[in-house]
């Protein structure tokens, strides 16, 4: 009897202590659940909570932790972006991750992968339909309009760096949370602006020790495209049976996007398709030629890629993508990026950067008609290359000056200006300029707004003489110096 009672007591004590041991864990989970609900998170997005059985929610597909071992690369990429963007006179801007979903659907376009398949969209707690930014341009345009930036001296040049979200199919070089270095230039329809953006992206990669090749195309204005699209649609209809299911669907909805298909089986048909360059107006052709001439002048290597159209709806005229130069890449580049490949066929590479001109978007989103151009560069893909490279580039541009303004007079001087800006920038000089403006007065006014101490003035005569004028902006005193001595003169004056 006593034995039986002792057994019962022991059993009760055991179950009570087991219960007590479990209680804090259960309480903990309940508390966390409350927190999760209060934070408006879904259960499967919950904070990492260790339950009684030790079940740890896993890292979501396509998401990555940045660990201490990654940080030196991130830092290097971020600082290189910051240096280059600021040296070219871009101002940093951050827009929110969440925006009204319609901002993205209206800008990027309904027939695109990003909108149809990849955007994270949900109703916010107040019922607003919101989207997590899948790219920077739409937010930058919204900010440009909502902060009245068209009243500032143009072009307004903005750069951003941060994460974006696309529910892409995760694979090497493609994540659902990705990061980009992004630059936009608003307010100038000028081939020099397109070329400058390409040079910024190209130099950013070169400063990181990555040799690249730029692919160029022009998709003309929307008027140029009207006749071309009729021709293209006709061609694609006749080749329908050779195309993948996605392409078949796009023939009527968004034929231009068919050209962008990454499916290997479609490539031969698409390579044979009518080319948009043959349908460009004289004005668009000339514009494109000028962009290419600037690139020649700046010694930026490029190839023409007639099927390059970019995935988004808002582009007009210049479009470009940048790839690691295959002749310098020792390793296997990640495959099949969201933005095409340098050579169709074997050894597909992912684009590191994509961009182009979008002259209609500001107007379409309710702002004053404003031409614009920009690029986005994928940070994770750059990281992969940096990791792959045994040696890191030590080339650093340190600069601690408020900058100088570079003014030009006449077409010949304008051409020379780009190259000189390039050389000075390499020497660490922070430069502001406005290649879109032609009148010296307007340029000097802009120089005053940038509050620089000195303006460099290059006219026709100076181009021929090999000289340049340095103007002290406070006293108005100007001196003529030999272009070869410009760097040392500036060093004396600005202590760069």
Residues of this chain that bind ligand AMP (CB under 6 A): 135, 166, 168, 173-175, 178, 180, 337-339, 351-354, 376, 378, 380-381
In the bound state with ligand AMP, the residue whose beta carbon lies nearer, of 174 and 257, is: 174
Three-state secondary-structure class, residue 470: strand
Rounded to the nearest whole angstrom, what is the least distance from the CB of residue 203 to ligand AMP in the complex?
17
Which are the contacts of 134, defined by CB distance < 8 A and separation ≥ 6?
Answer: 104, 108, 114, 118, 119, 120, 164, 165, 166
Rounded to the nearest whole angstrom, what is the least distance from the CB of residue 493 to ligand AMP in the complex?
40
In the bound state with ligand AMP, the residue whose beta carbon lies nearer, of 388 and 449, is: 388
Rounded to the nearest whole angstrom, what is the least distance from the CB of residue 64 to ligand AMP in the complex?
10
Q: Cα 251 to chain center, whole Å?
A: 28
Tell me the residue number closest to ligand AMP, measured at CB: 378
Which are the contacts of 8, defined by CB distance < 8 A and separation ≥ 6?
Answer: none
Rounded to the nearest whole angstrom, what is the least distance from the CB of residue 378 to ligand AMP in the complex?
2
Residue 370 burial (C-beta neighbours within 10 Å; 0-12, 13-18, 19+): buried
Rounded to the nearest whole angstrom, what is the least distance from the CB of residue 420 to ligand AMP in the complex?
30
How far, in Å, CA of 353 to CA of 140, rounded?
18
Q: Which residues pair with 458 in a beta bridge?
A: 408
Measured CA to CA in angstroms, residue 238 lies from 233, 241, 251, 307 at distances of 9, 8, 11, 18
The CA-based diameter of the chain, rounded to the nearest angstrom, is: 118
Alpha helices by DSSP H, 333-410: 361-364, 379-388
In the bound state with ligand AMP, the residue whose beta carbon lies nearer, of 173 and 191, is: 173
How far, in Å, CA of 361 to CA of 368, rounded?
10
In the bound state with ligand AMP, the residue whose beta carbon lies nearer, of 118 and 422, is: 118
Rounded to the nearest whole angstrom, what is the least distance from the CB of residue 353 to ligand AMP in the complex?
5
Three-state secondary-structure class, residue 122: strand
Sign of the dihedral defined by the CA atoms of residues 408, 411, 412, 414, in that order: positive
In the bound state with ligand AMP, the residue whose beta carbon lies nearer, of 337 and 459, is: 337
Rounded to the nearest whole angstrom, what is the least distance from the CB of residue 174 to ligand AMP in the complex?
4
In the bound state with ligand AMP, the residue whose beta carbon lies nearer, of 115 and 470, is: 115
In the bound state with ligand AMP, the residue whose beta carbon lies nearer, of 166 and 357, is: 166
In the bound state with ligand AMP, the residue whose beta carbon lies nearer, of 342 and 403, is: 342
Give yes or no for a contact between 240 and 258, defined as CB atoms under 8 angstroms apart.
Answer: no
Rounded to the nearest whole angstrom, what is the least distance from the CB of residue 165 to ligand AMP in the complex?
9
DSSP 8-state code for residue 115: I
Residue with tokens 């059993």: 11
């Amino acid at each position: 009897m006593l034995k039986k009672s002792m057994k019962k007591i022991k059993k009760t004590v055991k179950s009570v202590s087991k219960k007590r041991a479990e209680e804090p864990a259960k309480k903990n989970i309940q508390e966390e659940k409350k927190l999760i609900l209060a934070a408006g998170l879904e259960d499967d997005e919950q904070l990492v909570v260790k339950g009684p059985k030790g079940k740890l929610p896993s890292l979501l597909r396509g998401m990555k932790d940045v660990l201490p071992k990654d940080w030196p690369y991130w830092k290097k990429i971020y600082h290189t972006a910051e240096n280059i963007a600021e040296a070219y006179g871009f101002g940093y801007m951050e827009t929110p991750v969440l925006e009204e979903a319609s901002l993205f659907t209206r800008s990027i376009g309904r027939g695109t992968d990003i909108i149809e398949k990849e955007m994270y969209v949900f109703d916010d707690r107040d019922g607003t339909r919101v989207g997590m930014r899948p790219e920077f341009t739409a937010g930058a345009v919204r900010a440009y309009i909502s902060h009245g930036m068209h009243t500032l001296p143009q072009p307004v040049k903005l750069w951003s760096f941060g994460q974006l979200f696309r529910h892409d199919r995760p694979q090497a070089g493609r994540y659902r949370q990705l990061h980009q270095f992004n630059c936009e230039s608003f307010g100038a329809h000028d081939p020099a602006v397109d070329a400058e953006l390409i040079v910024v992206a190209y130099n950013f990669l070169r400063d990181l020790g990555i040799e690249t090749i730029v692919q160029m195309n022009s998709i003309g204005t929307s008027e140029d495209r009207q006749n071309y699209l009729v021709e293209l649609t006709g061609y694609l209809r006749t080749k329908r049976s050779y195309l993948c299911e996605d392409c078949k669907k796009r023939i009527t909805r968004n034929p231009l996007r068919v050209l962008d298909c990454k499916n290997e089986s479609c490539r031969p048909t698409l390579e044979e398709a009518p080319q948009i360059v043959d349908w460009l107006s004289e004005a668009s052709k000339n514009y494109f030629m000028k962009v290419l001439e600037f690139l020649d002048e700046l010694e930026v290597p490029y190839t023409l890629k007639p099927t390059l159209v970019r995935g988004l709806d808002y582009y007009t005229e210049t479009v470009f993508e940048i790839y690691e130069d295959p002749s310098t890449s020792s390793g296997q580049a990640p495959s099949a990026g969201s933005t095409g490949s340098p050579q169709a066929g074997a050894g597909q590479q992912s684009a590191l950067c994509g961009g182009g001109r979008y002259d209609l978007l500001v107007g379409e989103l309710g702002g004053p008609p404003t031409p614009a151009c920009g690029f986005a560069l994928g940070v994770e893909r750059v990281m992969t290359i940096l990791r792959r490279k045994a040696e890191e580039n030590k080339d650093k541009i340190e600069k601690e000056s408020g900058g100088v303004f570079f003014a030009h007079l006449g077409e010949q001087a304008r051409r020379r200006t780009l190259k000189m800006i390039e050389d000075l920038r390499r020497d660490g000089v922070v430069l502001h300029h406005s290649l879109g403006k032609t009148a010296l007065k307007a340029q000097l006014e802009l120089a005053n707004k940038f509050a620089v101490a000195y303006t460099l003035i290059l006219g026709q005569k100076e181009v021929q003489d090999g000289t340049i004028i340095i103007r002290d902006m406070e006293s108005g005193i100007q001196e003529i110096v030999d272009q070869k001595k410009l760097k040392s003169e500036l060093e004396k004056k600005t202590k760069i």
